[in-house]
Structure 1
């Protein structure tokens, strides 16, 4: 059953979808947007010398809630998630712009194009290819529930 959206959310998602179709972010393609509340993005790993993910292709799932853009959507990497210090094996991403609240950096001014470009940039700036500390324990504890239900601490801006 499709998510019920507020009129504001519906207009905003449609506007972003139209903009995406006119000018998709570099290295990204929209695989699916049916229903409109769930987008599947195909993202090429960033290219260039020394890039850990240059030959990789990832899928990202974006689930918009009824209060988008006031509330951020759920954004997760689909399996297999990249091996990265800020991406858990279940696809949850430790990146402040994906969360609102106490220390989150979400802003209604952000678009999904800007979000996926931030994810590509995060991959491009990785200094090592490893899982986050406590990956197995975190994934066992939270499973596939919304990453917005986790208490994130954003302290590492180097990767």
Structure 2
């Protein structure tokens, strides 16, 4: 069995498990293209109790490499792209568990925080939902969002919240 056919079998099983799971509230997954198990369409429905993104529906594409599960997939948000410290302006999510399983050249992340084959689409999506509730401003993908969130936490203004609420409204088709 080739690496990619093993990966396809694993992805088929993992997608089926996610679809059946009662524990993954606010997460919906399917194939982006019916013929390609390596590209998933993901919908994240952020709960109303989330301070900045509550009530938002954010669509993303998770793309798995042929070497999965030895190498991580990527998760890219589609329009409208959430204004978030851990999401690049092009929509790509920046989170440690999606970084390749090697030593971090910058020394910021421990190898144990990066991708390993014990991770799964489920752990990625749960971690992503967690980032909506508690964004990481220490190593931002979107510097502007990180600065505005830090300033808001210091009580300087509410600009971060305003931009997030606009993203939520756009995600609901209200703008």
- The answer to whether TM tops 0.5 is yes
1:133 maps to 143
Post-superposition Cα deviations, 1:93-119, rounded to whole Å, max 9, x if no partner, equal: 221101113226101111111111100
2:93 maps to 93
* Structure with more helix by fraction: 2
Mapping for residues 34-113 of structure 1, pairs under 5 Å: 34=34, 35-48=36-49, 51-100=51-100, 101-103=102-104, 105-113=114-122
- Give structure 1 regions of 4+ aligned residues with deviation exceeding 4 angstroms: none
Post-superposition Cα deviations, 1:82-139, rounded to whole Å, max 9, x if no partner, equal: 11111112111221101113226101111111111100000101389x982278xxxx
Provide the aligned C-alpha RMSD in A. 2.6
Is the CA contact (8 Å cut-off) linking 1:37 and 1:63 kept in structure 2? Answer: yes
The 1:122–1:7 alpha-carbon spacing in structure 2 relative to 1, beyond 3 Å, is: same
2:151 maps to none
Partners of 2:51 and 2:118 in 1: CA distance: 30
Post-superposition Cα deviations, 1:54-105, rounded to whole Å, max 9, x if no partner, equal: 1211011011111100011121111221111111121112211011132261
Q: Which runs of 5+ in 1 are unaligned?
A: 136-159
Partners of 1:18 and 1:60 in 2: CA distance: 18
1:29 maps to 28
1:12 maps to 10
Q: Which runs of 5+ in 2 are unaligned?
A: 105-110, 146-175
User: How many residue pairs were aligned?
Assistant: 130
TM-score normalized by structure 1? 0.72
Partners of 1:38 and 1:94 in 2: CA distance: 18
Is the CA contact (8 Å cut-off) linking 1:86 and 1:95 kept in structure 2? Answer: yes
| Structure showing greater Rg | 2
Partners of 1:63 and 1:122 in 2: CA distance: 19
TM-score normalized by structure 2? 0.66
The 1:64–1:27 alpha-carbon spacing in structure 2 relative to 1, beyond 3 Å, is: same
Partners of 2:90 and 2:47 in 1: CA distance: 21
